[in-house]
Structure 1
């Protein structure tokens, strides 16, 4: 079991490290640079080359059954769910076979709406303490469940 973190712009790296360490689970931070490698022996830092979706492809090529992926990237989430991994967004929302298709369709729709109206602003809400708390709870539950199944 490995916890893969899509680390570029991930707001819950420290929280994920705490939970993974408590469960003695390996964690891999994947980014294209700009993050400080932690001293924790359970945490590996992987720096991939610059380029579109390089970190996503690295994670998707490795994550599978029994692994947990933390990402906000819906296409990456869809690939990982298809590979059998458990996927959590940083706000604690689980992406599963039952909902990842809908999330992908919504993402594509929002992209099209933004492209059609160049004056449309982001519209997303800020990451909150409640999101962080939900993530911690969700990761704790997922790791307990995965360890119990193993």
Structure 2
């Protein structure tokens, strides 16, 4: 089992939870981000940097994911690819992506893209709250246990 993290937009607090929980079970997460988001080396994590192309991180994750892996991402399209490959996906806010919820999420993404393309604006995501982080930790730990058999 691998833990792959879409690290471009992943909050630092979420990265910290991923590292702390994976160390407990002897795993090293894989953080994938574009070189536009280059940062210091993450301890207890493997880093992969890809080109600045808009979908480069998603493609790198999709090419590496296997059944039983866990992917941390806020991207609905990537979550759909991951689920199609037999892996699990969780958002930075702790929402577990499921096949029955993705069509609605992808439609929402499509509508917002049309609004932006026509010159409209919409609110971005709210700041990560303490409740979001607690939900992420609880659901991420549950995923780890279910996939690793702890």
TM-score, normalised by the number of residues in structure 2: 0.90
Residue number in structure 1 paired with 2:139: 138
CA drift at 1:124: 3.0
- Equivalent of 2:42, from 38, 44, 51? 38
Residue number in structure 2 paired with 1:100: 102
Mapped partners of 1:116, 1:48: distance in 2:
30
| Residues 17-96 of structure 1 mapped to structure 2, 5 A cutoff | 17-33=19-35, 34-40=38-44, 43-96=45-98
CA drift at 1:82: 0.6
SS at match of 1:46: strand
1:39-89 deviation line (CA, Å, top 9, x unaligned):
32xx21001122121111000011121100000011111111111110000
CA drift at 1:114: 3.4
CA drift at 1:99: 1.4
TM-score, normalised by the number of residues in structure 1: 0.90
SS at match of 1:132: helix
Provide structure 1 residue ranges, at least 5 long, that are not aligned to the other structure: none
Residue number in structure 2 paired with 1:121: 122
Q: CA RMSD in A?
A: 1.6
CA drift at 1:116: 3.5
| Residues 41 and 47 in structure 2, CA contact (< 8 A), matched pair in contact too | yes
SS at match of 1:66: coil
